[in-house]
Amino acid sequence: MSSPLRKIVISSAYVVGSYLLSWILIYSIVLGFDYSYFGRYFVLAWRGGGEMPATIQVLSFLATAFFVLAGLGIFLYRSKNRRR
């Protein structure tokens, strides 16, 4: 795999992983670790319908943005220290 393509794949995997992790985290916090509706809420969050799935979706997008920005900050900090 070429270097630019490899970076795109790794970045995409990081974003998707951050989204899934944040969705599970927000779902757990909002619904108190009750996983009986996990699959149904995940589908409803993407298809639309339901106030709670939509709330979880919006909060998980915000958490994903935080995780991605934190990862970018760590990457930039590490690359700056490597140049020295």
Are the CB atoms for 52 and 41 separated by under 8 Å? yes
pLDDT of residue 2: 64
Is 80 exceeded by the pLDDT of residue 1?
no
pLDDT in tens, 8-30: 888 888 888 888 889 999 999 98
**25 or 7: which leads in pLDDT:** 25
pLDDT in tens, 41-84: 888 888 877 788 888 888 999 998 998 898 889 888 988 887 76
Tally the domains of the chain.
1
Are the CB atoms for 64 and 18 separated by under 8 Å? yes
The amino acid at residue 2 is S
Query: Residue 35 is part of which domain span?
Result: 3-83
pLDDT of residue 83: 73
